[in-house]
Structure formats: structure tokens, C-alpha cells
């Protein structure tokens, strides 16, 4: 497996872990190039029929794990959130979609799942994602969302 950083075409498997439902094997790898030695993750899955995402305009698009990953990663940019945490969020959502939806899933469901997960993880990442996803029409809607989040956070803190 080639290194995504320096493109050396060999890497060493450090650790392999099978997901709870047994459908995925996650491997931590390390680049064998001594000047690089960076670590990255690969996933091995059973090939399944593609899950189609129904978009708002009713067009279908094949579900993309990478696209979901990039979306979550973008929301988490410059936040104290590790790559591992992002992977866990995305893996959890992908797993849930595979179980609950066999062939088609509305994009709105995926958006809601991401928002739920980010809400738990990081307030800023959540608001970022929600502001793009929900296309907040005005500052007022956004402010309301932020306010409800702050209230929740302080509730959590006092409990």
C-alpha cells in the first residue's frame, strides 16, 4: 500500500483491527521510507452493492466514504480533534447507514447523523457543519443555533 504523503510504494502494518460488526478491517500502517515514516490508516471491506444517496433535487449519487470523511474533516479543521476521532465518527455513520439502509438513503439523513455526532464532539465543528448544511438563511437562525448549543454545554457542565 503506497504512502499518501511521500508516495513510497510500501508500508508496514502496525496494527489490524476488525470492526465490531465484522465487516471492516482497519489497519494502521507506517511508511517504510526512513525520511517519512508517517502513519496512516487503510480500511478493508467486503465489496457491497453501492448505497445510493438521494440528493435534494432527487438525483442519485453513489455514497462516498471519502466524501463524508472530507466533509467531517473540514468541519473539524483547526479544532482539538484527532484524526482518530474523525475516523471514528465517519466509520460510525457509515456503519449505521449500511445497517439501516440497503440501497438508498436521503442525503438529509446523512447530514443529521453528522450533526448529531459533531454536536457531541465539538461545538465549533458542529456549528460550522450545520451552517453549511442547513444553509442558515440569516444570522438570526445561526445565532439561535449557537445559543441553544451554549445552553446545552453549560447544562452539561453543571451536571
Residues that bind Zn ion (CB under 5 A): 3, 5-6, 8, 31, 33, 36
Q: Using the 8-state DSSP alphabet, how is residue 9 labeled?
A: S
Nearest approach, Cβ of residue 14 and Zn ion (Å): 14
- If the CB atoms of residues 3 and 90 are measured against Zn ion, the closer one turns out to be 3
- If the CB atoms of residues 3 and 105 are measured against Zn ion, the closer one turns out to be 3
Contact at 8 Å (CB) between 90 and 68? yes
Nearest approach, Cβ of residue 32 and Zn ion (Å): 8
State whether residue 51 is helix, strand or coil: coil
> For residue 71, which of 53, 57, 48, 44 has the smallest C-alpha distance?
53
- If the CB atoms of residues 31 and 51 are measured against Zn ion, the closer one turns out to be 31
CA distance 9 to 69: 23
State whether residue 86 is helix, strand or coil: helix
- If the CB atoms of residues 39 and 79 are measured against Zn ion, the closer one turns out to be 39
Contact at 8 Å (CB) between 37 and 28? no
Q: How many CB atoms lie within 10 A of CB 81?
A: 19
- If the CB atoms of residues 8 and 19 are measured against Zn ion, the closer one turns out to be 8
Nearest approach, Cβ of residue 11 and Zn ion (Å): 7
Nearest approach, Cβ of residue 65 and Zn ion (Å): 22
Contact at 8 Å (CB) between 23 and 29? no
Nearest approach, Cβ of residue 13 and Zn ion (Å): 14
State whether residue 37 is helix, strand or coil: coil
Amino acid at each position: 500500500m503506497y504512502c499518501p504523503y511521500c508516495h513510497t510504494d510500501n508500508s508496514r502494518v502496525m496494527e489490524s483491527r476488525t470492526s465490531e460488526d465484522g465487516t471492516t478491517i482497519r489497519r494502521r500502517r507506517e511508511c517504510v521510507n526512513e525520511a517519512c515514516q508517517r502513519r496512516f490508516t487503510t480500511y478493508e471491506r467486503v465489496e457491497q452493492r453501492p448505497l445510493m444517496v438521494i440528493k435534494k433535487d432527487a438525483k442519485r449519487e453513489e455514497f462516498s466514504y471519502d466524501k463524508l470523511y472530507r466533509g467531517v474533516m473540514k468541519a473539524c479543521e483547526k479544532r482539538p480533534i484527532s484524526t482518530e476521532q474523525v475516523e471514528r465518527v465517519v466509520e460510525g455513520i457509515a456503519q449505521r447507514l449500511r445497517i439501516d439502509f440497503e440501497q438508498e438513503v436521503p442525503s438529509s439523513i446523512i447530514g443529521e447523523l453528522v450533526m448529531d455526532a459533531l454536536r457531541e464532539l465539538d461545538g465549533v465543528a458542529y456549528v460550522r457543519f450545520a451552517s453549511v448544511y442547513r444553509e442558515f438563511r440569516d444570522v438570526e437562525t445561526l445565532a439561535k443555533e449557537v445559543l441553544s448549543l451554549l445552553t446545552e454545554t453549560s447544562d452539561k457542565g453543571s451536571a
